[in-house]
């Protein structure tokens, strides 16, 4: 674990705790000797975590689209800024450069980035950890949704457990290092067949 990708909001949010903990997390990344990859923007929680990480000595790489850079939303002072054409290319680049992922509060973009990583892990394309930093109980409803998906046989519990939840920045970083990828396949019906159980058509 050398480089951590952070997915988070380009907005500040309603509660000042979001920015405070984002900055705390960035500082702790640097203190633990970890570098950071993120979406490259100079607004919202993205700015808070990036500037704190840089201030602590972390090498921060931004990956931003031409569209966002053209709107003058690119963070200055980064160790490296990569400009790509599409959001899909942005996500793929961040995944390639990173050894693990931490999710802070955010909106559609943050959720999109998170679930892309989870889908890849579920299918066995990578074995990288993902931790959700549950600032101000922001992700409690996500926890409940994952539990419901498992109860409705839409998601295996082993795959739901790929989403690790942390209450503090220190806990989030510790969970990155302690992760073991699931070895079970995605399809519940395949597992039932393997165990000799009947599968409804």
Give residue 145's domain range.
3-194
Domain for residue 199, yes or no? Answer: no
Quote the number of domains for the chain. 1
Full-model pTM: 0.89
CA distances from 152 to 64, 115, 122, 146, 149 (A): 38, 19, 18, 10, 5
On whether residue 82 sits in a domain, the answer given is: yes
Quick one: what percent of the chain has pLDDT higher than 90?
84
Whether residue 200 lies inside any domain: the answer is no
Q: What is the CATH number of the domain that holds 132?
A: 3.40.50.450
Residue 98 has pLDDT above 90, yes or no: yes
Q: What is the DSSP letter of 36?
A: E
pLDDT digit string (tens) for 7-57? Answer: 999 999 899 999 999 999 999 999 999 999 999 999 999 999 999 999 999
């Amino acid at each position: 674990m050398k480089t951590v990708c952070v997915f988070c909001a380009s907005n500040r949010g309603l509660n000042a705790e979001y920015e405070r903990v984002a900055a705390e997390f960035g500082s702790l990344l640097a203190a633990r000797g970890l570098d950071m990859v993120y979406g490259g923007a100079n607004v919202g929680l993205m700015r808070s975590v990036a500037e704190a990480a840089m201030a602590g000595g972390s090498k921060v790489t931004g990956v931003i689209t031409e569209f966002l850079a053209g709107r003058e939303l690119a963070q200055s002072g980064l160790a490296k800024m990569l400009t790509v054409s599409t959001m899909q290319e942005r996500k793929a680049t961040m995944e390639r450069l990173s050894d693990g992922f931490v999710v802070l509060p955010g909106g559609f973009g943050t959720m999109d980035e998170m679930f892309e990583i989870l889908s890849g892990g579920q299918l066995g394309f990578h074995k990288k950890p993902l931790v959700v930093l549950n600032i101000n109980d922001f992700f409690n409803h996500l926890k409940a949704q994952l539990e419901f998906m498992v109860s409705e046989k839409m998601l295996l519990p082993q795959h739901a457990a790929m989403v690790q939840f942390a209450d503090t920045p220190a806990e989030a970083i510790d969970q990155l290092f302690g992760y073991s990828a699931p070895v079970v396949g995605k399809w519940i019906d395949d597992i039932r067949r393997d165990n000799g159980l009947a599968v409804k058509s």
